[in-house]
Structure formats: structure tokens, C-alpha cells
């Protein structure tokens, strides 16, 4: 029998409500997926957030994006995107240049090095996603995506 969350986290008492059980299931599952994903990235010297930035900037070529645009596209809140990009610039993964049209803007772009890194990760990332979710049927994945989309969009 597959253990449910209550057993997983050694909880004795029942959940207070179905809402709570669902919330904890979402958060717990996400944490497990993210931990394992970041573990996979470690040998490549980047964090999960940095990987996301590279993926975003690869998709935004050749124009690049300014700091706030990168931040909006991230999966997670990122109050200090400046220093996240600082570190990636130091690591040679991105470049930044102040815009000529609006001198407040700083356009960030992926470097050749960053591009090679993220390209080389495509295969292991997809393999990891399959490992994490490949045991669900296509129908189950679609249902899951639909329900989570609905969670994020209360009407």
C-alpha cells in the first residue's frame, strides 16, 4: 500500500480539513521534486533558480530581458534579483548592458558559456522529469495540471 502524507511525515492526528491536506500535499511534493532537481544540478555548479534564469534568457534571445522581466518569469519570488544576476555575471553565464533608449533599464543576456551549459543540461533535465513523473499516465498528468491551474486561478 502506498503511504499517504500523514504516514510520510509521521503525523498521528488526522488533517484538520481536506483543504489543509491538499495544501500540504502540494507543498510536500514540490519540495521533494525541487530538492532532487537541485541535487542533480549541483555538479554543474548552479542552483535551481540560476538554471531557471538561464532557461528564461535562452528563450529571450537575442533581445535579452531586463532584471524585472527575468524576475517576473521565475517560478518563485525573488526579492534580490540584482545580486542573483551579479553572481551569474561573475560566473560568466550572463552579461549586462545598460540600455541606450531608457537609461534606467539594464538588459541581461545569456553568454555563449551559459548557453552551452543550459543546452548541455536539456537531456538530463528531461530525464529527471521523466524519472519524477514518468510513472503517471498522460491522462493523469493532464488532470493534475488542470487541477493545479485551477488552484492558482480562483474565479
- Cβ atoms of 67 and 106 within 8 Å: the answer is yes
Q: Which does 17 bind (CB under 5 to 8 A by kind): a second copy, DNA, none?
A: a second copy
**6 belongs to the binding site for DNA (CB under 7 A):** no
**55 belongs to the binding site for DNA (CB under 7 A):** no
CA-closest candidate to residue 33, choices 153, 140, 130: 130
- Interface residues with a second copy (CB under 8 A) are 2-5, 8-13, 16-35, 37, 59, 69, 72-77, 122, 125-126, 129-130, 132-136, 138, 140-145, 147-155
- Interface residues with DNA (CB under 7 A) are 42, 47, 49, 66-68, 77-80, 82-85, 87, 96, 101-107
Amino acid at each position: 500500500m502506498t503511504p499517504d502524507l500523514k504516514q510520510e511525515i509521521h503525523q498521528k492526528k488526522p488533517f484538520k480539513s481536506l483543504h489543509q491536506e491538499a495544501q500540504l500535499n502540494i507543498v510536500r511534493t514540490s519540495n521533494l521534486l525541487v530538492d532532487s532537481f537541485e541535487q542533480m544540478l549541483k555538479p554543474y555548479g548552479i542552483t535551481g533558480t540560476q538554471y531557471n534564469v538561464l532557461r528564461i534568457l535562452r528563450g529571450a534571445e537575442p533581445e535579452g530581458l531586463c532584471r524585472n522581466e527575468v524576475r517576473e518569469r521565475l517560478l518563485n519570488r525573488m526579492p534580490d534579483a540584482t545580486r542573483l544576476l551579479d553572481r551569474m555575471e561573475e560566473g560568466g553565464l550572463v552579461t549586462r548592458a545598460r540600455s541606450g533608449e531608457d537609461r534606467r533599464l539594464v538588459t541581461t543576456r545569456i553568454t555563449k558559456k551559459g548557453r552551452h551549459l543550459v543546452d548541455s543540461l536539456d537531456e538530463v533535465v528531461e530525464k529527471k522529469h521523466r524519472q519524477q513523473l514518468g510513472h503517471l499516465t498522460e491522462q493523469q498528468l493532464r488532470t493534475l495540471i488542470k487541477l493545479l491551474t485551477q488552484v492558482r486561478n480562483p474565479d
